[in-house]
Structure 1
Amino acid sequence: MGPTIYTEPGDSIHIKLVNNLTEPIGPAPPTAVEYWNMLQNPGEHIKYQRYKKRVPSPAHLKVDEDNMPRHFDHTNLHLHGLDVQVHMFDPVDTHDPTAPHINIPPGQCYCYKLDIPSDHPVGMYWYHPHLHGSAAIQMWSGMLGLLYVGKHTLEKELQKYNVRNTHEFVIWDPAFQYVPNQPTHDLEVDEFLLGQTTLSKIHPFLVNGQINPTFTTKVGQVLHFHALCATVENENTFIVYPEGKQHLHDQAKIVPFYQIGSDGVMYSKPIKRNVIVMSGGQREELLLIFDKPGRYVISQQGIQGMQFFGMRGHPHDQILATIVVTEELNDDDKKKEEVVRPTVPIPSMTFTPGYTDEESVQPENIQSSETITFSMGANFDQIPFPQYYINGHSFSSSRSQFHAQPNEAREYVLINANHNAHPFHMHVNRFQIKEMGSELSREEYPVLNELLDFDENIWRDTVMVPPNGRARIWVQFKNYTGKTVIHCHFLAHEDTGMMATLFIGKKDWIFQLEEHYQWMMGVGIGICLSCLVMYVSRCCLGRQRNLLKKNNMNDEDDDVLYSAVSLNELKSKAMD
């Protein structure tokens, strides 16, 4: 992980990002030949046999160059969740709809200047690379870091209740592959995004870069976690059990805990939970308290089969961390150390909320509603494979699919057409969840009960759209305008197409012309066809008139020929 950034509401952040990578440190980008070889032998665990169809040769593969994994040694920076200027495209705060991604090559640098509003919610945020084509592999390699806005303010609120045992809890899923014949090692970082259809990769869940780290607390003491799910392509659960009881999947054995904030926005009061489901990008402020000494574990479990098209066994159940709870201090010890118990029970605590109730989106403020559909393609004659779409389109930085105005509220209905999870993330804006549902069976996937248990007053920047499901969100756009993106925060999906541009603000006439070229072209073609029809009709009418005129002239000749005078003349000639 990178260094932690600390800032305050009202600050300006100046970041100089230097790319000290030297080519070719990263792996070579995948080629059509490598994709073709994978398609010939995609793995014995594939559920859908159609993936095993044969493509005659690499030459028969259509290549979507915009969505091929690439630029592994190039990078850029995204400040996830912050209400700041758009900063995905060059330059920062761009209003050019054709602007390219910020792309920092090896040996180069880039300067970011971003302004944090004075009323920005205090909490934990984070940063990571976001160059299309290389975001996933760089995140798998650990290129991420934490960012706090107003951390001291948050600490003071907690310390007034004697909550002082605070730790960061960063969940990360590096991707490895087994390489048995190497002399010095048997694991390597997965080279590129070719293994998405197999279970051959090794996906341990690390916490703070460690396997099963240990945290300590005392009976009656509040343990506070700043939790971040920084996974690249896995969702995760957070469940607390007494050690040895996690394999029972017994709700009665679960140790409850409390949520006091999500995605950098504090709640006004704690919410009691038994289980939370976290997707890549989400953050949670969590309070835990134990009434008995012993060893406890935080478990990731129950996600199997709800991702990767029902394939059981992935992601694997795993212990994320261990908590050692010791006895409460005795009277003699209390003289040496301050009392560790909170000043009030956790349910009685109150906090300054990141947003007030009055700032919630109201139904009458919704300007319009749009549908955003996540879907996947399995065209084995096209690479990258598989293909990922938003509203039937793979990503193109030159196409603006969505548009909004600053300070307006909009509704988006998020549809997940696949039997795997897709976390939706919107840059530089937050939203409230108003509805969630899934066609999957809650009996077969009990964790859906927790995933679908939402509070519509909570503000988020990332939401898990359930497999074969939907989520309805209300977005309150802020003051910042320009070109940004929405995307699936499983970055392997985003890198290969599941992203779309969002333009916030007034469009100039060139942008409007570009955005509406299809219907304008249709109108133009219609006008041309109409003119052609009119021309042909006029030509036909003119020809008909000429024929009629000619016929009329012949009729006149006939009249002259058979007039009474003419007949008399003929008779006279005949008599002579």
Structure 2
Amino acid sequence: MNDLSRRGFVAGTGGAIAALVLHGCGDDEPSVPDGNTGVPAGVTEVTLDVAFVQSQLAGRAVKLRAYGGVLPGPTITTHPGDLLRIRVRNRLPEYDSSAWEEDVKVLGHVVGMNVPHELNTTNIHVHGMEVIPHLFEPIGTSNPEAPMIAIGPGQEKTYDFALPPDHPSGLYWYHPHRHGSTAVQVVNGMAGMIVVKGPIDEVPEIAAARDILLAVHDLGLFPSASSPDLWEYDPPQNAMWNPFTGESTIIDPSGGAGAPASSGFSASDYPLRLFLLNGQPFFEEEHNPEVGKTQFPIGKQLEAPRFTVRPGEVVRFRMLNACSDNLLPVVVDEHTMYLLAIDGVNFLETKAVPYVEGAQFGQEQVLLPPAGRAEFLIQASAEPGVYAIRQLFHGTDVQFFASAEKVIAEIVVAGNAVAMGLPGELPTPSRYYPLTTGIDPAARRDVVFNINFDAATVKNKVVGGDFTVNGELYDETSVTFQPKLDTVEEWTLSVEHDAGAAPEGHPFHLHENSFEVVEIGGKAVSPVELRDTVWIPPMEKVVIRVRFKEFPGKTVFHCHILPHEDAGMMQNILVVT
């Protein structure tokens, strides 16, 4: 496929509201969008215009925020040692956050910044990539009080990322990360994939396989107040969606309910949610208004995208969970999954994971938290037929809202059989091997994700709950930890919920550094997995080891349920020399 590889791409819109380009809709094999023009070798240049776009999805008119008028955003391909230059141009209109200024005055700087705000102000994060810290101004800053980068409507910013020569080759992605607007923008369409090509791609059996990208993402939608039959997500400032009543209301800083609103900031439930693969809807959910069942959205399977393979053919799938909050326990029906990599870093050898007939949650072949990625091979069955790539059901004991089983895609095995091989040993990712086994950690730290909905003690009266790390709401101008460059630390991650909040799992993400997952729920992980995002099961502990290898500066870790992040479940760290 063509891609943004050592070349340039300008994704323009040509207007305030453009027509959305959906790649793969109606095709036999849906793909992700791409494009190219020439620039010097060793440089990848990308211009991403952010604007509202309109289209039809699952028989409905929708208005979304998108990169360059395509859904998902254009795929970027680069290489270890390359310079990746991304220019972000914000073509969104002004958004009225004047009421948020009153929130900050009444609630104070820290609590107020955790009220969603400035929904059309953006920036960009290259998720999982081993590059200079880039969330704060200026890029790479070590100032603990540095503000977060904010690209307002009508503004633009260029980011230069020099990839280290030993950067792992694998799947990454990009999305906005401006605190207060991240969730709305991502669940409204703003996400794209990054492929770093390298040694793993030169393994003969892998090079011989078709390379198929699978971007799974969700869209949260409300009926438009201004256009009949249009679905969008553009809540007014301080509007909050109550999933138990199915209503949106303007909330004042004291927690008082004001005027009704057409839509509101949501923690995960929406009047309508679409799940898409490479821009093509495969499942839809509607809010469940029945008392006692609001945590079980009403789901409907749509026609799943299809990929045709020949019996015996080996195909490489690279799957991204770009959902704002949905956990993906994934199986491929009646096929062994040959795992190559998690979160962009490959294993030392192919990991064969058999399919379990009638698999339920906990028996998945791979578990992808929000923001997680998996790269795997499938060798098509000798038996022609249709085989599903599916997400298993998980209930309210896993996440606050249950998630129905979904057929993400279908593999159609047909045609003449072919003989193809599977790899065994894989190239060693030199950036992370040898592992940190035997190194005494320079520090041991605890990270506890917590939610408090107790009305008597909640500080954030607008959101109606406090989403904290170690009991603290996010503060843009403070630093929690100061790890030292080129040292190893051991962190214990856990989840605790106060009164009024049922236990649920959370995905932990650390910027700029992959980490070794060594223990989950008291059980050793073997082989050790290198991840940048890991699922913390409810009321269990996850132990990770982090080597802060190369990049000093101010960065963050957070819960990657994006509404939780915007409401305060994030902290800054400062890597010092």
Please give the TM-score of this superposition, normalised by the length of structure 2. Answer: 0.70
Shift of 1:315: 1.7
2:273 is aligned to 203
Tell me how far apart the structure 1 counterparts of residues 206 and 510 of structure 2 sit (CA, whole Å): 34
Comparing 181-190 with 464-473, which one deviates more in the overlay? 181-190
For 1:119-518, list aligned pairs within 5 A.
119-150=166-197, 153-157=199-203, 159-160=204-205, 163-177=208-222, 184-185=228-229, 187-189=231-233, 191=235, 194-195=240-241, 198=244, 199=269, 201-210=271-280, 211=282, 212-241=304-333, 254-273=334-353, 274=355, 275=364, 276-289=366-379, 290-309=381-400, 314-329=402-417, 340-342=418-420, 344=421, 346=422, 348-355=423-430, 358-380=433-455, 382-418=461-497, 419-437=503-521, 454-506=525-577
The percentage of aligned residue pairs carrying the same residue is: 30
| Contact kept in structure 1, 2:518 and 2:524, CA below 8 Å | no
| Contact kept in structure 1, 2:124 and 2:175, CA below 8 Å | yes
Mark the runs of 5 or more structure 2 residues left unpaired by the alignment.
1-71, 245-268, 283-303, 356-363, 498-502
Distance 1:196 1:414, change over 3 A: farther
Q: Does 1:99 align with 2:139?
A: no
Counterpart of 1:138, as a letter, is: Q
1:108 is aligned to 155
Tell me how far apart the structure 2 counterparts of residues 68 and 149 of structure 1 sit (CA, whole Å): 36
Shift of 1:100: 0.1
Shift of 1:184: 4.1
Bigger radius of gyration, 1 or 2?
1
| Contact kept in structure 1, 2:439 and 2:488, CA below 8 Å | no
Counterpart of 2:232, as a letter, is: E
**Equivalent position SS for 1:492:** helix
Tell me how far apart the structure 2 counterparts of residues 433 and 322 of structure 1 sit (CA, whole Å): 31
Tell me how far apart the structure 2 counterparts of residues 371 and 363 of structure 1 sit (CA, whole Å): 20
Larger fraction in helix: 1
Tell me how far apart the structure 1 counterparts of residues 524 and 272 of structure 2 sit (CA, whole Å): 30
Tell me how far apart the structure 1 counterparts of residues 525 and 223 of structure 2 sit (CA, whole Å): 39
Tell me how far apart the structure 1 counterparts of residues 546 and 109 of structure 2 sit (CA, whole Å): 37
**Equivalent position SS for 1:350:** coil
Shift of 1:453: 8.5
Paired positions, count: 436
| Contact kept in structure 1, 2:518 and 2:529, CA below 8 Å | no
Tell me how far apart the structure 2 counterparts of residues 349 and 29 of structure 1 sit (CA, whole Å): 59
Tell me how far apart the structure 2 counterparts of residues 355 and 201 of structure 1 sit (CA, whole Å): 47
Tell me how far apart the structure 2 counterparts of residues 322 and 190 of structure 1 sit (CA, whole Å): 33
After superposition, give the CA deviation of every residue in 1:281-336 in whole Å (9 maximum; x if it has no partner). Answer: 11111111223110111111232223444x5xx2222111111111434xxxxxxx
After superposition, give the CA deviation of every residue in 1:399-437 in whole Å (9 maximum; x if it has no partner). Answer: 111110111000000011142121000001111111111
Tell me how far apart the structure 2 counterparts of residues 318 and 30 of structure 1 sit (CA, whole Å): 40
Shift of 1:78: 0.6
Counterpart of 1:415, as a letter, is: S
> CA RMSD, aligned part only?
2.8
Distance 1:135 1:453, change over 3 A: farther
Shift of 1:28: 6.4
Counterpart of 2:538, as a letter, is: P
Shift of 1:182: 8.4
Shift of 1:99: 0.2
Distance 1:62 1:19, change over 3 A: closer
**Equivalent position SS for 1:479:** coil
After superposition, give the CA deviation of every residue in 1:109-145 in whole Å (9 maximum; x if it has no partner). Answer: 1121221111111111111100000011110111111
**Equivalent position SS for 1:458:** strand
Tell me how far apart the structure 2 counterparts of residues 478 and 318 of structure 1 sit (CA, whole Å): 39
Q: Does 1:118 align with 2:165?
A: yes
Tell me how far apart the structure 2 counterparts of residues 356 and 105 of structure 1 sit (CA, whole Å): 36
Mark the runs of 5 or more structure 1 residues left unpaired by the alignment.
35-58, 242-253, 330-339, 439-451, 507-576
